[in-house]
Chain A
């Protein structure tokens, strides 16, 4: 298999959620190598680690993000893809540590104070991480101070705020204002079921996306 074929196959494994050879999913790829084995083979064959990431793993997850936005795949398929991605990424760990491979930047995410929902925020994290970003997940019920502390720890990071409830949209607004007041250069993305672009304009956040892939596209554009 030439390097291009191998990288394309890695991308296909992530897109289809094929983790490793023993995984029975997807049924039509049974007993074939998965993202795990193929990433190891690619590195062994001398393909640079940054290419395994940028031409293998990331394009696979990119397709998943687009398909998720278009309702062609759903939460379970994203979870399987993220698992395949992570199986490939574990082989890249030493290269991240040595600096041979770099992330595109840092994206700090959290569900805003008062809101304890995490599924949407976690999906966002998986898809943005799969696009080559480092994701710092602050969890749920996150106050402004915690976001600000994370921004100080990761200068130039982008911030993503999530909420599910209309009740907590008010907290989202306050958190956007607090972050913008104390760290005015920080770019803030907002999302979640009740959030709209009109709301974004009103509260002064920088970007709204109804789906994770929209966040990836914004980050890739300005990051």
Chain B
């Protein structure tokens, strides 16, 4: 009996063999519009043959008036405040979907303010739709993946600002302890609900890499972030020991890989080829870790030819071999300048050696 997409994805992610190479893709709005113009109103996940669907829990802001969170900054009039309380104001038209971030606890000197900071709220009862959605996906043979990236470090700096949080960490300031502990507790509550709902893959992550190397030292990460991050994974595995853990970090995350494996990460994303050597990473960690992404969105996809995309895709597929351990896809959101033919080349290459899908 052929594998369902869910079974195929899970087997590939566990390096237990697979029938086809799983694909992942996320298009920006203008790419979605262009896709719909060409193909009509169909889900591009279906067209690309993606084996999973995203699921999201229902949660609410912990604040009533988000603007009140900004005691030290006057926000631009068009600022929208997200569920974490982080402000997003629009840039120029040229900025497309990107927004400028405003950090409510930037400049905060009060532990009390951090302790009282209103994190999002949710409960089990109102999240029945999440449980129903996961069940429905499983009935269709699809895997369910939840979006919990910006798990600890990023969620904390979005609220506090990166320089302030890094300074707190360097100075051993209690403000960092309080904020990171609160964010961890919130992440644990979310991860428990997702795991109880039956999610197959937890998409966690915190950007700790830059193009040129680590954003912070491994020592600093191990002291402040790693134990908290591990506690999030441990909480999920208490509910479902088999739940797969995906970890996203932009940039060169090589220095953190051992630590991430220690924490229980199964899959690393996105392996930016502009700063990480996939073959070398695979050789070193390929027996303990699977890889998701690997096709560069800085050079290959926007500026390469379809033939180059095909060659790199086939090279990735051959590198991992028949056990799998690869979910092929762009390393990041596909931005407007990527030619659609290059995405088609990726899809065709994935099906070229393993045509079962």
> Residues of A at under 8 Å CB distance from B?
17, 23-25, 69, 71, 73-77, 79-80, 83, 113-116, 119-120, 122, 140-141, 143, 165-168, 170-171, 193-194, 210-211
Stretch at the interface among B92-100, B119-127, B226-234, B343-351: B92-100
A80 to B162, CA, bound (A): 13
Say whether A141 contacts B337, CB under 8 Å.
no
Shortest Cβ distance from residue B334 to the other chain A in the assembled complex, whole angstroms: 11
Say whether A75 contacts B94, CB under 8 Å.
no
Which has the most chain A C-beta neighbours within 10 Å: B251, B298, B336? Answer: B298
Say whether B166 contacts A79, CB under 8 Å.
yes
Contact of A114 among B92, B169, B274 (CB under 8 A): B92
Say whether A114 contacts B91, CB under 8 Å.
yes
Q: Please, what's the 1-or-0 string for B245-277, where 1 marks a CB less than 8 Å from any CB in chain A?
A: 000000100000000000000000000001000
- CB neighbours of A76 from chain B (8 A): 166-167, 169-170, 216-217, 220
Q: Please, what's the 1-or-0 string for B138-180, where 1 marks a CB less than 8 Å from any CB in chain A?
A: 0000000000000000000000001100110111100000000
A71 to B167, CA, bound (A): 19
- CB neighbours of A73 from chain B (8 A): 217
Shortest Cβ distance from residue A33 to the other chain B in the assembled complex, whole angstroms: 17
A23 to B173, CA, bound (A): 11
Q: Please, what's the 1-or-0 string for B197-221, where 1 marks a CB less than 8 Å from any CB in chain A?
A: 0000000000000111111110010
| CB closest residue in chain A, given B303 | A166
Contact of A24 among B172, B211, B212 (CB under 8 A): B172
Contact of B94 among A113, A193, A210 (CB under 8 A): A113
A59 to B356, CA, bound (A): 62
- CB neighbours of B251 from chain A (8 A): 193
- CB neighbours of B170 from chain A (8 A): 17, 25, 76-77, 79-80
Say whether A116 contacts B212, CB under 8 Å.
no
- CB neighbours of B99 from chain A (8 A): 116
| CB closest residue in chain B, given A78 | B166
11 A-B residue pairs with CB within 8 Å: A17-B170, A25-B170, A25-B171, A74-B213, A75-B210, A79-B167, A116-B91, A122-B163, A141-B94, A141-B95, A193-B274
Known: A194-B298, A210-B212. A75 touches B166 (CB 8 A): yes
A140 to B169, CA, bound (A): 26
Q: Does B181 contact A (CB under 8 A)?
A: no
- CB neighbours of A170 from chain B (8 A): 337
Shortest Cβ distance from residue A173 to the other chain B in the assembled complex, whole angstroms: 12
- CB neighbours of B185 from chain A (8 A): none
Say whether A116 contacts B172, CB under 8 Å.
no
A77 to B219, CA, bound (A): 12
- CB neighbours of B166 from chain A (8 A): 75-76, 79
Q: Please, what's the 1-or-0 string for B86-112, where 1 marks a CB less than 8 Å from any CB in chain A?
A: 000001101110111100000000000
Say whether B91 contacts A141, CB under 8 Å.
yes
Give chain B's interface residue range (CB within 8 Å of chain A): 35 or more
Say whether A193 contacts B95, CB under 8 Å.
no
Query: 10 additional contacts, CB 8 Å, given A25-B172, A165-B335?
Result: A25-B171, A74-B220, A76-B166, A83-B167, A114-B92, A116-B98, A116-B100, A166-B298, A167-B336, A170-B337
- CB neighbours of A194 from chain B (8 A): 274, 298-299
Say whether B98 contacts A115, CB under 8 Å.
yes
- CB neighbours of A71 from chain B (8 A): 212-214
| CB closest residue in chain A, given B298 | A194
A75 to B211, CA, bound (A): 13
Shortest Cβ distance from residue A187 to the other chain B in the assembled complex, whole angstroms: 23
Q: Please, what's the 1-or-0 string for B287-318, where 1 marks a CB less than 8 Å from any CB in chain A?
A: 00000000001110011000000000000000
A119 to B157, CA, bound (A): 12
- CB neighbours of A74 from chain B (8 A): 213-217, 220
A40 to B30, CA, bound (A): 56
- CB neighbours of B274 from chain A (8 A): 193-194
Say whether A23 contacts B171, CB under 8 Å.
yes
| CB closest residue in chain A, given B101 | A116
A115 to B337, CA, bound (A): 15
A116 to B302, CA, bound (A): 20
A115 to B98, CA, bound (A): 8
A17 to B167, CA, bound (A): 11
A166 to B210, CA, bound (A): 16
Say whether A75 contacts B215, CB under 8 Å.
yes
Say whether B167 contacts A166, CB under 8 Å.
no
A72 to B220, CA, bound (A): 13
Say whether B337 contacts A140, CB under 8 Å.
no
Shortest Cβ distance from residue A218 to the other chain B in the assembled complex, whole angstroms: 17
- CB neighbours of A24 from chain B (8 A): 171-172
Say whether B94 contacts A114, CB under 8 Å.
yes
- CB neighbours of B91 from chain A (8 A): 114, 116, 140-141
Shortest Cβ distance from residue B106 to the other chain A in the assembled complex, whole angstroms: 13
Known: A71-B213, A74-B214, A167-B335. A143 touches B92 (CB 8 A): yes
- CB neighbours of B213 from chain A (8 A): 71, 74
- CB neighbours of B214 from chain A (8 A): 71, 74
Say whether B95 contacts A114, CB under 8 Å.
yes
| CB closest residue in chain B, given A123 | B210
